[in-house]
Structures are given as structure tokens and as C-alpha cells.
């Protein structure tokens, strides 16, 4: 499928600090792509370069058949035809919902009757018919966000830029809103770039996610790809909870071309085996053994030898998390690792247990 948005070798520095490094990214028409990463990793800067609010140092941006930035010059913001919902781009408090949404249409001198029609369509799209005459202070946080989305969609942009649009909402509302928004974007087939530091939001909203760290893309993929096949420890820990055990990769001759490998735990005589990618195998630095809490089995009585992928431990703490207990276990000969796993029943603090890491659901990734 052809790509609608293409970013090539984009760079931006502030002073001596490289905020975005050699960014390559392609987005298909109608796709929702999230930029996910910790605070300061450059997400907003990328979005602002797309919007034309920040000039890149170098690189290339193309949207549809239009060049937004050619390495030197950029298309002015108003000619990019974008819809934007930014954190610091709130509704105008002195304007009604109708005035907020239709502002851009008035600027374009659309005839009044057409504006009215468009307004009704937009209010229906965001599920707010009948709210025309309200002022922002008379709306809930979620309703305000929906008005902001309607305002961004008013001029029928083909590319929508969202910068943490749901960050001011509480967790429950954020989940409903993100599900609603993604339905809407799919219905309109609008290409969307969404900036977030919230992994859950990125997972519910996105077709694909680009995980960023220090201005560099770590991995781009669907939520399931990133969760099941993270390329490194950073992506693994950023996409859902993950237990990480550091160690040294051991490659046996007969495994050299296989998909599984084993890792010798740091300061231990214990070897754990898991899935490993060819790139991870080629990595010469240190590795982590990764296993998600839900994939670990806690054994209360030591099964007969041989013990494969089993680590002894001692229960530290248990927390009831609704339906099951999240259990923290100190593991390793010095009990130096804290492992999280789930149990159906509460275990006793200080109780001896054994942790089993199924090798098909464990990974070995570069640190």
C-alpha cells in the first residue's frame, strides 16, 4: 500500500541538544499512528515540525502529493490544511460551541447556510447535538475535548495532529474517549498522528505505534508486535509490564541459527531460555531476559528435577488487584531480583516459591 505521509532523515537540535535524530517514518492513508515515549523524547517537536510550527534543521516531509519541507524551506502552517488538537490549544472560553467549531469556516468565508449544515454534521459526529449554544465552562472535560476534535475536523483536513488530547481527562473517561475517537477517525478515514506518553492510550487508539527514546525511533509496529516482539529492553518495558533479568547471552553451536537462545543470569549459575531475534543475537552488548507477569507460573512445591527455566524465590508482598493478586517475589541467590507475577490466591509473605518462565513466552533482548 502506498504511503500518505513520508518523513525522511528529519533532524532538529536546540543548542547542542539533538532532540530529533534521523527520523524516518511513513504513515498510510487513514492510519492512526501514535508517537509514544517518555517526557522529553521529542514527540511534540516532531508534531510541531509536521504542523509547520517548528523548522527542522534538515530532512524531508511529504504529505499526499505535497512537499511540506524540502530540506530548506517549509510550506506555511495555513497552507498545510491540517487539523490540530494540541494541549495548549484550548477552546475559546468566550465563544459558544457553535462559534468555536465554525471559526475556521467563517475565516474561509463559507456561506452561513453551509456552515450551519456542517456544524450539525460535526456535532453529530462527536455526539453533541443540541450543545451549540453552550459555553466551554458549561461542558465536562470529555465534552470539551470532543468540541476541540470537531473544531479540528471542521475544515475537512486530510491529516489530523493530536498532542496528548486526552491528558486532562481522568483514566476512565480517557479510555472511553480514545475508543470513541478512533471509531470516528476510522469512519472518516482520516490519517492521524497522535502524541502520547500513555501506553494504554497508544494501544487502544493506534494501528501502529512508533516508540521513541531520546529523539530516536526504537521500533515501529502494531500494538501486538511491540508487545510480543519488542526489539530491545526499552520497548519491552514501555509496552506493558515486563520483568527484566540482566545477564549474558550464551549461544550454543547447535542454536546459532535458531529462534531460541539462553541467558546466564548475572552472578548466578542459572540459565534461562527464551525466544531471541536474529538482531538481538547479533548484538554484542548485554542482554535482558524478559517475561511478562501474566506469563509466569508460581509453583508452591518444588517439582522433581530437572529444573528448566525455574528460579527459586521468596514472597515479598501481595496486592489484591481485583480478581487476582499481584505478587512481588524476591528471586536469585541473593534475592536480588524483584519479580512480579499473578496468583489466584494470596500467598504468605516470606513463603518459599519457585518461578517458572515458559521459554515460548519469554524473550531475550538487547539492553
Residue matched to cell numbers 509453583: 299
Binding of residue 288 to ligand ATP (CB under 6 A): no
Binding of residue 34 to ligand ATP (CB under 6 A): no
Of the residues 9, 40, 248, 267, which one makes contact with ligand ATP according to CB under 6 A: 40
- Please check whether residue 158 is in contact with residue 191, taking contact to mean a CB–CB distance below 8 angstroms: yes
Q: How far apart are CA 227 and CA 365, in angstroms?
A: 13
Q: Where are the alpha helices (DSSP H) in the chain?
A: 43-51, 97-107, 112-125, 141-153, 171-188, 199-205, 223-228, 233-238, 278-282
Would you give the binding string for ligand ATP spanning residues 162-191, x where CB under 6 A is met?
------------------------------
How many Å separate Cα 93 from the centre of its chain? 31
Binding of residue 158 to ligand ATP (CB under 6 A): no
The CA angle 102-108-111, to the nearest 5 degrees, is 70
The distance of closest approach from Cβ of residue 54 to ligand ATP in the complex, given in angstroms and rounded to an integer, is: 7
The distance of closest approach from Cβ of residue 56 to ligand ATP in the complex, given in angstroms and rounded to an integer, is: 12
The distance of closest approach from Cβ of residue 32 to ligand ATP in the complex, given in angstroms and rounded to an integer, is: 18
Residue matched to cell numbers 517537536: 45
Q: Which stretch binds ligand ATP (CB under 6 A): 42-50, 165-173, 246-254, 285-293?
A: 42-50
Of the residues 4, 42, 177, 233, which one makes contact with ligand ATP according to CB under 6 A: 42
Binding of residue 19 to ligand ATP (CB under 6 A): yes
Of the residues 10, 25, 27, 41, which one makes contact with ligand ATP according to CB under 6 A: 41
Binding of residue 45 to ligand ATP (CB under 6 A): yes
Residue 57: CB partners within 8 Å, gap ≥ 6? Answer: 11, 12, 13
Q: How far apart are CA 157 and CA 146, in angstroms?
A: 16
Q: Which stretch binds ligand ATP (CB under 6 A): 40-48, 235-243, 294-302, 342-350?
A: 40-48
Q: How far apart are CA 291 and CA 356, in angstroms?
A: 10
Of the residues 34, 44, 100, 340, which one makes contact with ligand ATP according to CB under 6 A: 44
By CB under 6 A, name the binding residues for ligand ATP: 14, 19, 37, 39-45, 197
Amino acid at each position: 500500500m502506498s504511503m500518505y505521509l513520508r518523513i525522511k532523515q528529519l533532524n532538529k537540535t536546540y543548542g547542542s541538544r539533538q532532540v530529533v535524530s534521523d527520523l524516518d517514518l511513513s504513515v498510510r492513508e487513514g492510519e492512526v499512528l501514535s508517537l509514544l515515549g517518555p517526557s522529553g523524547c521529542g514527540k511534540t517537536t516532531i508534531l510541531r515540525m509536521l504542523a509547520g510550527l517548528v523548522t527542522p534543521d534538515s530532512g524531508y516531509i511529504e504529505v499526499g502529493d505535497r512537499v511540506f519541507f524540502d530540506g530548506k524551506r517549509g510550506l506555511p502552517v495555513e497552507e498545510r490544511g491540517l487539523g490540530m488538537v494540541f494541549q495548549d490549544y484550548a477552546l475559546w472560553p468566550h465563544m459558544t460551541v457553535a462559534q468555536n467549531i465554525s471559526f475556521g469556516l467563517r475565516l474561509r468565508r463559507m456561506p452561513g447556510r453551509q456552515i450551519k449544515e456542517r456544524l450539525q454534521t460535526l456535532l453529530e459526529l462527536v455526539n453533541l447535538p443540541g450543545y451549540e449554544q453552550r459555553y466551554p465552562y458549561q461542558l465536562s472535560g470529555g465534552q470539551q475535548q470532543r468540541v476541540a476534535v470537531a473544531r479540528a475536523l471542521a475544515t475537512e483536513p486530510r491529516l489530523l495532529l493530536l498532542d496528548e488530547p486526552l491528558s486532562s481527562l481522568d483514566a476512565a473517561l480517557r479510555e472511553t474517549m480514545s475508543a470513541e475517537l478512533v471509531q470516528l477517525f476510522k469512519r472518516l478515514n482520516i490519517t492521524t498522528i497522535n502524541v502520547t506518553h500513555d501506553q494504554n492510550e497508544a494501544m487502544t487508539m493506534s494501528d501502529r505505534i512508533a516508540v521513541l527514546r531520546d529523539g530516536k525511533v526504537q521500533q515501529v509496529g502494531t500494538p501486538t508486535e511491540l508487545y510480543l516482539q519488542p526489539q530491545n529492553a526499552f520497548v519491552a518495558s514501555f509496552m506493558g509490564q515486563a520483568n527484566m533479568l540482566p545477564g549474558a547471552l550464551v549461544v550454543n553451536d547447535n542454536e546459532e541459527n535458531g529462534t531460541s537462545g539462553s541467558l546466564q543470569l548475572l552472578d548466578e549459575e542459572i540459565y534461562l531460555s527464551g525466544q531471541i531475534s536474529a538482531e538481538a543475537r547479533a548484538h554484542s552488548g548485554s542482554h535482558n531476559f524478559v517475561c511478562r507477569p501474566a506469563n509466569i507460573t508460581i509453583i508452591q512445591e518444588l517439582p522433581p528435577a530437572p529444573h528448566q527455566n525455574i528460579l527459586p524465590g521468596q514472597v515479598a508482598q501481595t496486592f489484591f488487584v481485583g480478581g487476582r493478586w499481584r505478587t512481588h517475589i524476591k528471586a536469585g541467590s541473593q534475592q536480588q531480583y524483584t519479580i512480579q507475577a499473578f496468583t489466584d490466591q494470596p500467598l504468605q509473605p516470606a513463603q518459599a516459591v519457585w518461578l517458572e518462565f515458559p521459554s515460548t513466552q519469554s524473550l531475550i533482548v538487547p539492553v
